[in-house]
Amino acid sequence: MTFENHLIREKSPYLRQHAHQPVDWHPWGPDALALARRLDRPILLSSGYSTCHWCHVMAHESFDDPAVARRMNDAFVCIKLDREERPDIDKLYITAVSALTGSAGWPLNVFLTPDLKPFFGGTYFPPTSRFGTVAWPDLVDHIARLWQDPDQRRRLRQSAESITAAVVAHLNGSRSGAVSGGPNPVAAARQALAQRYDRQNGGFGPAPKFPSPSLLTFLIAEGDARGARAGDDPEGLDMALETLRRMIRGGIYDQVGGGFHRYSVDERWHVPHFEKMLYDNAQLAGVLLEAHRVSGDEMFARAAMETLNYLLRDLQGPEGGFFAAEDADSPVSGDPAAPAREGAFYVWDHGAVDRLLDPADAALWAYRFGMQPTGNVVDDPHGMFTGQNVLFAAQGIEAAARHFNLEALEVQRRLDAARNVLMTAREQRPRPHRDEKIVAEANGLAISALAKAAGHFKDSENGARYQEAAVRAATFVQKHLYDAVAHRLKRRWCDREAGIDAMATDYAFLAQGLADLYAATADTRWRDWAEQLADVLLERFQDPDGGLFLTSVDAADVPLTRIKEDSDSVIPSASSVAALVMRRLAAWTGRDDLRAAARRTVDAVLAHLGQSPEAAAMMLTARLKAGRTKE
C-alpha cells in the first residue's frame, strides 16, 4: 500500500524521507498548529535530520508500521521537523527534553500541549520494551489515555507550564550569575579542560567522544596569548595538539578518503558513528591549520588538506555551494533492495584488501592500519562489524619502516599508492545518502576554512584551488540566498529553491567566512558584504543587554520565546562568532559601534556562565583575540 502525507511537497530531504509513511505527518507551520488547537489534541513533534542513523532506525521500526501510525494519528497532531532547517525550534524542545530526562538527541520526540508547551519527551524509543526503555506504541497509548482523562490532562498542563517557564528562563538570557570562573575566566576554562582531559587517549571526558572544534580553537588561542610552545605546555596547548593527533590516527578519521566522521563510540577514537557533517569538517580543517601554524607538525597540514579535499570532492555541488552531510548507513551491495548498514561504505574485509593489493603492499597496509583477518572491532554488541576492519593508524610510518626494513619515504609512497587503489575500489560501492540541502550557516564555515587554507598554502597549487572554491561558494550564496537590496539572507537552498528566513548563525558564520575571504584575497567586496551582514545582526538580532537572539526581531513563528544561546557546542553560538568578526571589521573599517557591540557581547555572555567558562570557549577566544584583529 502506498501512503502520502502532508510532507510530500516539502523541500527538506529529511521531511521527504517521511512523506510516504502512514503517519499523518505535517510540516511545522500555521496549518498544523491551528489543527491541534481546533481538535484540542496534543502535538507529537519529531525532530531529526536526513543523515541521522537512529532517525532511520525508528522510522523503519515504528513510523513505517501502519498499526503504530494509526495509534499516533488517532490521538495526536503529528509534526515532523528538520532540525537543520529550524534549529530554533529544535533547540527549544531539545532543551526541554534534556531538563526532563538528563539528556537528549535525535530523533527528538516530544509531546506538546496545543499551545506548544512541552510535557514529555525523549530520543529513540524501540518498538518493544527493552534495555529499560518503554516501547513506542505503549508510550503513545499511555499519553493518549492521560490526555483523555480530565484530571490527568490538568496535571500534564501544569507540568508543561513549569517546564516551559524553566526552559524560557534558560534560553532567553534572563538568568543572572557571577562573572564566569572568577576574575580570570580564561585561566579557569583552561584548568577545567585540564581536569577533564583524557591523558591516555586525548579528548575531554569519556566515550562517546565528539570532536570539539571550539575547545581546540580556544586552547590554541589561549596558548598563543601566553606564548606557549608546542611540546612544552601539557596543561594547555598540548592538550589540543595531542587530541588532534589521536583523532587523525583514529577510525573517526577516514583513512582512505579524508575527513572526519561524526563522533567515536569508544574512548580511543577507533569506532565512529560514520556520518559526515559539513559543519564538523569545515571547523576541524580550520583547527588543523592553526595546529600546523603553532607546531609545524606536517601531520596537521596533511589532514587539513585531505579534509578540504573531501569537501571539494564529495560535498561541493556543481554551482559551488556545499551540501549538508553524508549518511552513516549505506547498502551492503549494489542491489537497490539490499539492507543499509552502518559504516558499510567505509569498513574493509581483510580478504578484499588482499585481493586489491599485491601481497607486500597488503601486508604493509594491514600493519599500518590495524587490520585483522577476523576484524578489528573488539566491542561490537550489535554485531554490525563482524569480520570487518575500521581502519586506524595502529603503527607509525617509522615503525612500519623498521618492521619491513624500508625507508620511511618508501613506506609513505607505497601507502599512498595503496590508498589510491582502495579509494578507486571504494567508489564502486553504493554510496551513503547525501543530504543535498545547502545551508548558509554551514557554507559560511566552509568558506572560512577554505579561505584560511588559501592563505596558509599561499603561492601553491592547493592554495589557489582552495581560494577558487571559497569564492565559488560565496558567489553561490550571494546569488541564491541573499537579497542584496533588502540585505536579507535565506537559510537554505534545496531543490533549486531558497527558503526559511536566516538565523543569527547564518549571518554571523557567513560574515566570518567573508572576512576570512577578504583576508585571503584583499577583495573589498567580501569585506563590504560582511559589514552588511554585521549591520543586519545589530539591527534585527541584537539584545540591547548584549549577545544575539537566534531569530530576528520580526520572525513570524517563534514558539514560546526568542532563544539567546550563550554556550558554544559542536556548532559555536552566533554571539561568539559575531563578536570575533565584528572586532575584525571594526579594525578594518574604524567603526566604533562594531567594536562596542563585540565588547558588550563578550561581557554579557561571560557574566552568565557561572563556574563553567569552558562552555563558552569561542567567546573566550573572542576575548583573547581582541588585541589581534588586524590579522
Per residue in 294-324, pLDDT (tens digit) is 999 999 999 999 999 999 999 999 999 999 9
* Alpha-carbon 588 to chain mean position: 31
pTM summary value: 0.95
Name, in order, each residue with C-beta under 8 angstroms of 337's C-beta and a sequence gap of 6 or more: none
The CATH fold of domain 13-171: Glutaredoxin (3.40.30)
Write out the E strands in 39-104.
43-48, 77-82
Mean pLDDT of all residues in 392-419: 97
- Examine the pLDDT at 630 and tell me if it is beyond 50: no
Query: What was the pLDDT predicted at 180?
Result: 47
Going from N- to C-terminal start, the domains of the chain cover 13-171, 346-428
- Give the tens place of pLDDT for each residue, 429-440: 999 999 999 999
Query: What was the pLDDT predicted at 237?
Result: 96
Mean pLDDT of all residues in 580-598: 95
- Asked if 576 and 621 touch (Cβ cutoff 8 Å), the reply is yes
Query: What was the pLDDT predicted at 66?
Result: 96
Comparing C-alpha atoms, which of 433, 577, 569 is closest to residue 503? 577
Q: Quote the crossing angle between the two packed helices 440-456 and 298-310, to the nearest 10°.
A: 140
User: What confidence category does residue 178 fall into, taking pLDDT thresholds of 50, 70 and 90?
Assistant: very low
Dihedral of the alpha carbons of 57, 60, 62, 65, in degrees to the nearest 10 = -170
Q: What is the sign, positive or negative, of the torsion defined by CA atoms of 569, 572, 575, 576?
A: positive
Q: How many CA atoms lie within 13 A of 201 on its CB side?
A: 20
**For 391, left (φ over 0), alpha (ψ -120 to 50), or beta?**
beta
Q: How far apart are CA 116 and CA 99, in angstroms?
A: 16
Mean pLDDT of all residues in 467-484: 98
Comparing C-alpha atoms, which of 59, 53, 87 is closest to residue 327? 53
Mean pLDDT of all residues in 595-607: 90
State the pairing for strand pair 26-27/77-82.
parallel
Tell the burial category of 430 from Cβ atoms under 10 Å away from its Cβ (0-12, 13-18, 19+): middle
Name, in order, each residue with C-beta under 8 angstroms of 286's C-beta and a sequence gap of 6 or more: 213, 217, 445, 448, 449, 452
Q: Report which residue type is found at 357.
A: L
How far is the CA of 567 from the CAs of 180, 209, 213, 543, 577, in angstroms? Answer: 12, 19, 13, 16, 12
Q: What share of the chain is helix, strand, coil (3-state, %, to 5)?
A: 50, 10, 40
State the pairing for strand pair 329-331/263-264.
unpaired
Q: Report which residue type is found at 363.
A: A
Other CB atoms within 10 Å distance of the CB of residue 131 = 5
Q: How far apart are CA 83 and CA 50, in angstroms?
A: 10
Q: How far apart are CA 599 and CA 160, in angstroms?
A: 37
Q: What is the sign, positive or negative, of the torsion defined by CA atoms of 457, 462, 465, 470?
A: negative
- Examine the pLDDT at 119 and tell me if it is beyond 80: yes
User: What confidence category does residue 455 fall into, taking pLDDT thresholds of 50, 70 and 90?
Assistant: very high
- Examine the pLDDT at 338 and tell me if it is beyond 90: no
Mean pLDDT of all residues in 130-158: 94
Among 24-28, 516-520, 554-558, 619-623, where is mean pLDDT lowest? 554-558
Mean pLDDT of all residues in 471-491: 97
* Alpha-carbon 363 to chain mean position: 36
- Examine the pLDDT at 382 and tell me if it is beyond 90: no
Mean pLDDT of all residues in 590-617: 88
User: What confidence category does residue 171 fall into, taking pLDDT thresholds of 50, 70 and 90?
Assistant: confident
Q: How far apart are CA 301 and CA 168, in angstroms?
A: 43
Query: What was the pLDDT predicted at 173?
Result: 60
- Examine the pLDDT at 506 and tell me if it is beyond 70: yes
- Examine the pLDDT at 102 and tell me if it is beyond 90: no
Q: How far apart are CA 475 and CA 356, in angstroms?
A: 41
Mean pLDDT of all residues in 95-122: 93
Query: What was the pLDDT predicted at 181?
Result: 47
- Give the tens place of pLDDT for each residue, 199-251: 999 999 999 999 999 999 999 999 999 999 999 999 999 999 999 999 999 99
Mean of per-residue pLDDT scores for the chain: 93
Q: How far apart are CA 279 and CA 284, in angstroms?
A: 9
- Examine the pLDDT at 174 and tell me if it is beyond 70: no
Mean pLDDT of all residues in 136-165: 96
